[in-house]
C-alpha cells in the first residue's frame, strides 16, 4: 500500500511537471541566453532529466532484470529506447512524457486487475490460515497442512470449515452460500458430511477430517481459480506469439528509418538527422504492443472472474473460449439433470383409504429398511413412529418387506410380493418405481417414487438452444422408459439408455464423430463420468455432489450444481470474444494509421508526431483496458 502511494505521488508530480514544462517550452523555446545557450537546454533539460529519473528508474531496473533473462524485445525496452532517442534529438519534454504516460498506462492496468480480482475475491478469501485441532479434547491451533486424515478439529460460530470431514459431535446450521450459492442455512448433525468453505452459524461442531488440506474441496476450488490464467485461449496465444515476432521487427524498422534516409538526403545535416531520429523514435513508441499485450489477456482475466462470481470455476481462458462455440451438450442423467435422490411423486390410495393412511402404513413397512427408497419415504421421521407396533420384520430379496403391524400382516414392496400373497390389486403402468402396499389381506394403494428433475434443468436446456446449442443428449445407465421420460420433460432431443460406464465413452465417441470440428460438451457428476469428461471437447462437472475424480477430469466446475449457469458462461464467453476482437482491431488500426502519418514528411502534425505516438501507445492501451473493464458492468 505504501509503495502504491509513493508511485502515485511521483507520477502525479511528474505529470504536473510535464504540463508546466510544456507551457514554458512553448513560450520560451527560442529564448537565447548570452548568445550561446538556448533556454530549453539550461532550464528545460535539467528539470526534465530530474523528473525523468524519478518516473523511470524502476523501468530501468525492470528492463535490466528482463535483459538478464534474455528478454530484450518487450514493451519496457521499447519505451526506454524511444525516450532516450527523444532526449538525444532535444525533445526533452517528449522524452519525459513517453515514460510518464507508459507508467500511467501501467497504473491503469493495475487498477483494472485489482478491479477484476474483486469478482473472485469471495473465493480467494476462503483460504484458512489456521485450524483448531481438538484431539483428546485439547484445543491446539495449527497450520492447515498439519492436519491429518482422522484428526478432530473444532469449528466455532462464525468460523469457516477449513477441511472436508464428518460431524463427529454437535448439531448446528451452516451458511453454504459462498460455496453453493444456496441462501437457506443447512442443518447438520453427527455423522453428516461437511465440505470445506462453508461457515458455521450455530453451535460449535467437532469434525473428523476425511481429507488432508491440499486435497479438500475448498483447496481444489482455489487451485482452479489461481491456475486459471495458465491455460491461454487461442486469441491470447496469438497475441503472445505476435508480440515476440513483431517487437524485434519494429525495432529494426525504427533503426533503419532513423539511419538510412539521412545517409542519402543529408548525412552532414544535423537537422535531417534530428528529423529522422524523431520519426524513428516515434515509430518505436507507436509500434509498442502494450495495448494488445495488456488488454486482450485482461478481457479474459475479467471474464474468468465474472464466471467465478456466478459460481462457475473455469480452469483456463482456452476453456472459456470454447463455451461460445458449444454445438452439442451431452448430459449424464442422475445428479445432473435430476437431483440424484428419490422423492415421492404420487400417492394413489384405493377408494376406501386416504393418502395419510397409505403413507403411514408404507412408513411403518419401511421403518427398518436402509434402502434409499426407504429414506425418501421416511425422511428422518423415525422418531414420530412407534416401533413397538412392529414385529416379525422380514426383508424379502427382490420383492420387498413383510412385517406385523398392530398384530396384522403388512406388505410393502413390488407387485411380485402381492402376487405371492394372493392379494388382488391393480397393476400400475409407469416407468418409475412403484411401491405396492397391502394390509390385513387388502390392497391399500401405490406410491410412485422417482428421481426428481432439478427445477433449473428445463429452463437451462431451453436457454442453451437460444444461445446456439443445436443438439442435446442424455447418456444414462437407467432403463429406456425412465430416460425417455426425463429427456421429454427436460426438453432434450436425443437419449441413449442402459449404458455401462465404458458404453458411455463409446456413445460419446459416436456423437463426436457425427459432429466433427464442432465443440461437444459433456456435463456429469459421478465417478463413471470422468472418462467422458476427459474425452469431450469441454468437460463440465457438478461441484456440490461431484466426485474428486470428476472435478479433476473436467475443464469447468459448477459449484452450486445449477445447470443454467452454463448459459451465463456462454454469454460471458461471447461478450469476451467481442471485446477482445474490438481491442485488437482498434489498437492495430490506430497504430497503422499513425505509423503511416509518421513516415510522411512535412505534414501539419509532423512537429507533434511524438505526442501522436504517445497516444497510439499509452492512449490506445488505456482505452483498450477500459473497454475490457466493460465486462465487469455486464449482468447475466
Catalogue the active-site residues. Answer: 332
Closest CA to 161 of 225, 118, 206: 206
How far apart are the C-alpha atoms of 315 and 226, rounded to whole Å? 9
Closest CA to 552 of 560, 543, 561, 563: 543
CA distances from 154 to 46, 168, 523 (A): 65, 10, 36
User: Three-class SS of residue 471?
Assistant: strand
Closest CA to 276 of 612, 599, 608: 599
User: Three-class SS of residue 515?
Assistant: coil
Taking the CA atoms of residue 414, residue 420, residue 423 and residue 429 in that order, the dihedral angle to the nearest 10 degrees is 30
How far apart are the C-alpha atoms of 458 and 466, rounded to whole Å? 13
User: Three-class SS of residue 202?
Assistant: coil
How far apart are the C-alpha atoms of 499 and 517, rounded to whole Å? 26
How far apart are the C-alpha atoms of 293 and 105, rounded to whole Å? 12
Q: What is the DSSP secondary-structure string of 396-422?
A: ETTTEEEEEETTEEEEEE-HHHHHHTT
Rg (the chain; Cα; Å): 35
User: Three-class SS of residue 38?
Assistant: strand
Closest CA to 271 of 89, 92, 81, 94: 89
Whether the CB-CB separation of 362 and 417 falls below 8 Å is answered with no
CB neighbours of 590 closer than 8 A, spacing ≥ 6? Answer: 616, 620
Q: At what angle do helices 270-287 and 75-88 cross, to 10 degrees?
A: 160
How far apart are the C-alpha atoms of 219 and 215, rounded to whole Å? 6
Q: Determine the straight-line distance between the first and last CA of the chain, rounded to whole angstroms.
A: 33
User: Three-class SS of residue 148?
Assistant: coil
How far apart are the C-alpha atoms of 218 and 338, rounded to whole Å? 25
C-alpha cell at 106: 501501467
Whether the CB-CB separation of 210 and 149 falls below 8 Å is answered with yes
How far apart are the C-alpha atoms of 78 and 89, rounded to whole Å? 17
- Rounded to 5°, the CA angle 225-227-230 comes to 135
DSSP classification of residue 165:
E
Amino acid at each position: 500500500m505504501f509503495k502504491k502511494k509513493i508511485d502515485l505521488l511521483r507520477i502525479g508530480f511528474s505529470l504536473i511537471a510535464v504540463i508546466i514544462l510544456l507551457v514554458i517550452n512553448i513560450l520560451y523555446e527560442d529564448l537565447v541566453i548570452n548568445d550561446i545557450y538556448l533556454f530549453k537546454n539550461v532550464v528545460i533539460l535539467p528539470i526534465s532529466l530530474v523528473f525523468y529519473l524519478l518516473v523511470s528508474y524502476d523501468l530501468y531496473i525492470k528492463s535490466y532484470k528482463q535483459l538478464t533473462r534474455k528478454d530484450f524485445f518487450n514493451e519496457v525496452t521499447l519505451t526506454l529506447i524511444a525516450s532516450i532517442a527523444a532526449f538525444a534529438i532535444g525533445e526533452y519534454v517528449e522524452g519525459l512524457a513517453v515514460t510518464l504516460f507508459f507508467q500511467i498506462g501501467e497504473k491503469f492496468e493495475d487498477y483494472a486487475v485489482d478491479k477484476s480480482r474483486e469478482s473472485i475475491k469471495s473465493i480467494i478469501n476462503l483460504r484458512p490460515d489456521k485450524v483448531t485441532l481438538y484431539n483428546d479434547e485439547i484445543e491446539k491451533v495449527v497450520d492447515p497442512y498439519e492436519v491429518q486424515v482422522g484428526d478432530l478439529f473444532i469449528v466455532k460460530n462464525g468460523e469457516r470449515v477449513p477441511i472436508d470431514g464428518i460431524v463427529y459431535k454437535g448439531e448446528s446450521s451452516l451458511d453454504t452460500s459462498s460455496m453453493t450459492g444456496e441462501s437457506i442455512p443447512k442443518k447438520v448433525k453427527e455423522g453428516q458430511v461437511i465440505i470445506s468453505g462453508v461457515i458455521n452459524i450455530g453451535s460449535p461442531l467437532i469434525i473428523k477430517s476425511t481429507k488432508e488440506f491440499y486435497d479438500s474441496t475448498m483447496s481444489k476450488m482455489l487451485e482452479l481459480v489461481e491456475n486459471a490464467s495458465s491455460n491461454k485461449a487461442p486469441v491470447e496465444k496469438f497475441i503472445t506469439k505476435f508480440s515476440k515476432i513483431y517487437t524485434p521487427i519494429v525495432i529494426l524498422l525504427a533503426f533503419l528509418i532513423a539511419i538510412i534516409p539521412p545517409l542519402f538526403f543529408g548525412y552532414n545535416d544535423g537537422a535531417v538527422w534530428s528529423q529522422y531520429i524523431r520519426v524513428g523514435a516515434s515509430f518505436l513508441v507507436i509500434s509498442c504492443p502494450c495495448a494488445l499485450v495488456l488488454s486482450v489477456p485482461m478481457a479474459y482475466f475479467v471474464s474468468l472472474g465474472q464466471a467465478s462470481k456466478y459460481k462457475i470455476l473455469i480452469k483456463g481462458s482456452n476453456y472459456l473460449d470454447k463455451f461460445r462455440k458449444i454445438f452439442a451438450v451431452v448430459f449424464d442423467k442422475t445428479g445432473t439433470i435430476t437431483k440424484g435422490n428419490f422423492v415421492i411423486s404420487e400417492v394413489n390410495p384405493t377408494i376406501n383409504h386416504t393418502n395419510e393412511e397409505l403413507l403411514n402404513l408404507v412408513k411403518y413397512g419401511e421403518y427398518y429398511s436402509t434402502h434409499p427408497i426407504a429414506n425418501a419415504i421416511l425422511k428422518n421421521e423415525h422418531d414420530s413412529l412407534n416401533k413397538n407396533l412392529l414385529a416379525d420384520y422380514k426383508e424379502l430379496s427382490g420383492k420387498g418387506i413383510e412385517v406385523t403391524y398392530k398384530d396384522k400382516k403388512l406388505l410393502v414392496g413390488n407387485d411380485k410380493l402381492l402376487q405371492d400373497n394372493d392379494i388382488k390389486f391393480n397393476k400400475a403402468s409407469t416407468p418409475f418405481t412403484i411401491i405396492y402396499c397391502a394390509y390385513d389381506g387388502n390392497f391399500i394403494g401405490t406410491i410412485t417414487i422417482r428421481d426428481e428433475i432439478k427445477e433449473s434443468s428445463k429452463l437451462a436446456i431451453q436457454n442453451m438452444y437460444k444461445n446456439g446449442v443445436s443438439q442435446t443428449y442424455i447418456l444414462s445407465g437407467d432403463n429406456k422408459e425412465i430416460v425417455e421420460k426425463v429427456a421429454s420433460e427436460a426438453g432434450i432431443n436425443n437419449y441413449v439408455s442402459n449404458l455401462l460406464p465404458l458404453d458411455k465413452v463409446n456413445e460419446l465417441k459416436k456423437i463426436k464423430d457425427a459432429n466433427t470440428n464442432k465443440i461437444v460438451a459433456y456435463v456429469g457428476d459421478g465417478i463413471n463420468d470422468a472418462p467422458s469428461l476427459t474425452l469431450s471437447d469441454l468437460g463440465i462437472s457438478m461441484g456440490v455432489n461431484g466426485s474428486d475424480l470428476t472435478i479433476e477430469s473436467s475443464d469447468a466446475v459448477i459449484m452450486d450444481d445449477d445447470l443454467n449457469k452454463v448459459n451465463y458462461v456462454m454469454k460471458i464467453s461471447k461478450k469476451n470474444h467481442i471485446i477482445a476482437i474490438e481491442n485488437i482491431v482498434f489498437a492495430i488500426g490506430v497504430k497503422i494509421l499513425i505509423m503511416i502519418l509518421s513516415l510522411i514528411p512535412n505534414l501539419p502534425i509532423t512537429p507533434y508526431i511524438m505526442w501522436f505516438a504517445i497516444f497510439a501507445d499509452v492512449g490506445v492501451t488505456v482505452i483498450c483496458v477500459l473497454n475490457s473493464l466493460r465486462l465487469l458492468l455486464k449482468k447475466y
